[in-house]
Structure 1
Amino acid sequence: MDLGTGLLDMHIDLVEELLSGPQDWDRRTHWFTVLAAAVTPSTIHLWSRRRPESADLLLLHAWADLLQGRRRGRLDNAQDIIVACHHAARLQPADPGPWTVLLGVLRDLRRHPREVFPVWDEIIRRDAWYREGHLQMLGYLSPEECGSSTQQNAFVDNATARMPLGAPPVALELHVLLGRYRRAVTSNGLTGLLADRIFDQPFANSVLGHALSTWPRPGFLSHAAALADLNVLAYLAAHARHRDAANAFRAVGATVTPWPWRLDGDPLEQYSTWRKYFLTRV
C-alpha cells in the first residue's frame, strides 16, 4: 500500500467514525454537506471499493455531485444522482438525507410539483423539523424557481406556526426576507434604489427584532448549522442598519460563512467591514 492510499484509508476511517455517531439527522446532514464540498474523487473511488453497499458513501457521493453541478451551473449526471439517492434510501430507510438530495436535484431540473411534493412528504415523515429539507423546499417554492412569493409565504407561515422554539429550520423567515431584499437590490429603477426600504416594513421589523433579541442568547440555538443562520441574521441586520446588529456579530464571532456575504464581494472582507462598523459604535 503506497502512502497516498494509506492517507486516503485514514481519511475514510475518520469519516466513517464521524458518521457512525447518534442518528441526529440534522447534524449528520450538516457533516455531509461540509464533507461533500471537500471530498476528492479518489476518496470516493477507494471508499466504493471498500464499502460498495455503504449508504453513507452513496449519500456523500450524491451530495458531492449535486454541489459540483450547482457550481458548474448544470447537472450532467442527474439520473445517476437520483438512482444513488433511491439506493441510499433503501439501505438507510430512516434517513431523510437521500430524499433531501433528491429534492435538490428535482429543484435544479425544475420538476413539476406532483413529482416534488411526494419527496417532501418523505422528508418530513422522517424528521418533521429537518433544516436542510425545509430550505430546499423554500428554494423550490421561490419566484426564481418553480413557485411564487405567495406560495413561499404560505409554506413559511404554516411551518413557523407549528415549529418548536429554536428548531433547526428557525431561519426560514430570515431566508424569505433575504430573498425579498436581494430581488429588490438587483431590480432596475426605483425598486433597486429603494431596496433598503424593505427593512422598514412590519415583517422585516418583526422578524429581525425577534431574532436579534433571542438568537444570540447562549444556548438558544443548538442545531448544527446555527452559525450559518447567525451569519444570515448578521448580514440582514447590517444592511437594515438595525440598532441591535452588534448582537448578531458578537454571536457569530470569527466563524464567517460564505453565504450570504459573498453576494456583495469577498465574504471575509464584507463581514470584517460590517463587524468593525457595528462593534465600534457601541
Structure 2
Amino acid sequence: MTVIPVLAIGALLLALHHFVIRRTADWVGKHFVAPDYDLPPRAQLDSRHAGPPPPAHRTEERQTVADAAWAGDWKPAERYVQAAGEDWDERWSRLELLQHVAGEDDAWLEAWRAAEPGNCDAATLHASIMVHQAWEIRGSGYAHEVMTSDMNRFRAMLPAAIEEARQAALLDPANPGPWVVMITAARGAQYRRAQFKPLWEGLVARAPHHYEGHWQALQYWCAKWFGSDRRMMRFARQAVRKAPPGSPLAGIYLHALDELIYRPATFAQPVTPLMRRLLKRVAASFEQVAPDDERLPALRHLLAHYMVRSMMYARALEQFRLIGPWCGAQCWRKSGNPVVAFETARGTAAKLSRTRPTPAPKIYGIGR
C-alpha cells in the first residue's frame, strides 16, 4: 500500500473517531448515570481537590512545625526533616513544605543556618528558595513572553543558587537534595548537556529513583529547554522501566505526554501500541504505590485522561473508579469547567468500554 492511501485511511479513522466522541459526549450529557457504573454521582463531584485531604495527624504535624517556625523555633523543622531518614522522596517533600513556611517568614531559617552552619538540609532549603525566587521573577511563560529585564535578573540569580547547592552537597555527600536543586536551576542557567550530565549522575548515584529529580530532569530534556521530543520521551520511557515497586516514578511518562500535547502549535500525538503498553505498565506500577501517597491522585487523573485519549476505555473506567468524586486535577481544569470535563471523560469511558450498566433497584411504596 502506498503512502497516500495509508494517510487517507488514517485521516478517515481519525474523523470517525472524533464523530464517535462527539456523539458520546452528547449521550453523556443527556443519559449518563454515574452510579450505574459504580461511580459517584455528579452531585458529589468535588472540583476543589484532585484527591482526598491528607490524614488529620499528618496535617496537624505540618501545622505544628509551621507554627513553631513562625514563632521563631526552628528545631521542630529540623526534626521534621530528619525524621524522614533516607526516604529521599519524603525528605524532599518535607523540605518543600518548609519552603512554603519560609515564604511567609524566613527568620527561623536564618536562625537555623546561623546555629548550624554545617546542616545540609538548612543549606539545601536556602539554595532551593534562591532558585524559586529567581523563577518567580521570570514567571512561568515561554521565553519570548518574558521581559528582557526579568530574564536577565533571573539568569543572574541562578549561579549563586547553584553554588549554594554545591556547598550544601559538601556538608552531607550522601544527601541528594542539593543535587535536585542544581538540576532544577540548570536549565534556567542555560547549562549545556555536558554540564548537565554530571549533575544528573550525581543525583542518581545518591537516589536513582528520586521523583522530583526526575521531573526536573524531564523539563531539561523537553523541547522548550535543551532537549527534544525524542529525548524527552526516551527519558520518560526509562522512568517507567526502572520504577521500583511502591514508587510513583512511572508517572513521569504521563508528564511527558502532557508536555507533548499541551505545547503550543503541537499537533495531536498519534496513539501507538507502544503508548498503550506503557500506559498499562504505569497503571500496574500505581497498584503498588501506597494509597495515601499524596502524589498518586493527580497522577491517576492524568492516567485516566490519557487512557481515554488512547481509546483504552475499560482501563480508564477502572481508574475513574479509583479516583472517586475528586475532579480538581489540572487536566480537567484546562477546559475551564473541571466538572464538565471530568464527567464527559468518565462517561465516555463508561459508554465506549461497553460496560453494562447496573442500575440500582428502584424501591416502590412508602419509604421508611
Whether contact under 8 Å (1:216, 1:251) holds in the other structure is no
Runs of 4+ deviating beyond 6 Å: 254-258
Q: Is the contact made by 1:135 and 1:169 (CA closer than 8 Å) also made in structure 2?
A: no
Matches within 5 A, 1:1-282: 8-9=70-71, 12-21=74-83, 22-40=85-103, 41-73=106-138, 74=151, 75=154, 76-183=156-263, 186-187=264-265, 191=267, 195=268, 198=269, 200-212=271-283, 214=284, 217=287, 219=289, 225-237=295-307, 242-243=312-313, 244-253=315-324, 263-265=334-336, 270=338, 272-278=339-345
Contact 2:241 2:250 in 1 (8 A): no
Question: What residue identity is the alignment partner of 2:123?
Answer: L
User: Which residue of structure 1 lines up, in the alignment, with residue 58 of structure 2?
Assistant: none
CA distance in 1: counterparts of 2:98 and 2:309, whole angstroms: 31
Distance change (3 Å), C-alpha of 1:261 and 1:18:
farther
Q: Deviations over 1:34-79 (max 9, x none)?
A: 3324423334333334433322111112222223322332535212
Q: Secondary structure at the match of 1:108?
A: coil
Residues 240, 281 of structure 2: 8 Å contact kept: no
For these two proteins, the number of residue pairs brought into alignment is 264
Greater relative CO, 1 or 2 (CA 8 Å, sep 6+): 2
Asked if 1 retains the 8 angstrom alpha-carbon contact of 2:250 and 2:285, the reply is no
Counterpart-to-counterpart distance in 2, 1:229 and 1:238: 14
Structure 2: unaligned runs, 5 residues or longer: 1-66, 139-150, 351-356, 358-368
TM-score, scaled to structure 2: 0.61
Alpha-carbon distance in 1 for matches of 2:230, 2:196: 18
Counterparts of 1:156 and 1:256 in 2: how far apart (Å)?
25
When the two chains are superposed, the root-mean-square deviation of aligned CA atoms in Å is: 3.3
- Whether the 8 Å CA contact 2:304–2:319 is kept in 1: the answer is yes
Seen in structure 2, the aligned counterparts of structure 1 residues 50 and 251 have a Cα distance that, compared at 3 Å, is farther
Q: Which moved more, 1:96-105 or 1:38-47?
A: 38-47
Unmatched tracts of structure 1, length 5 or more: none
Q: Distance in 2 between matches of 1:7 and 1:38?
A: 8
Structure with higher Rg: it is 2
> How far did residue 119 of structure 1 move?
0.7
Contact 2:240/2:282 (<8 A) preserved:
no
Give how far 1:163 is off: 3.9
Question: When the two structures are superposed, what TM-score results if normalisation uses the length of structure 1?
Answer: 0.77
CA drift at 1:279: 5.5
- CA distance in structure 2 between the partners assigned to 1:257 and 1:134 by the alignment: 24
Q: Sequence identity of aligned pairs in percent?
A: 22
What is the letter of the counterpart of residue 96 of structure 1?
Answer: P
CA distance in 2, matches of 1:104, 1:228: 21
2-structure distance, mates of 1:114, 1:61? 26
Q: Is the 8 A contact 1:166 1:221 kept in 2?
A: no
CA distance in 2, matches of 1:254, 1:39: 33
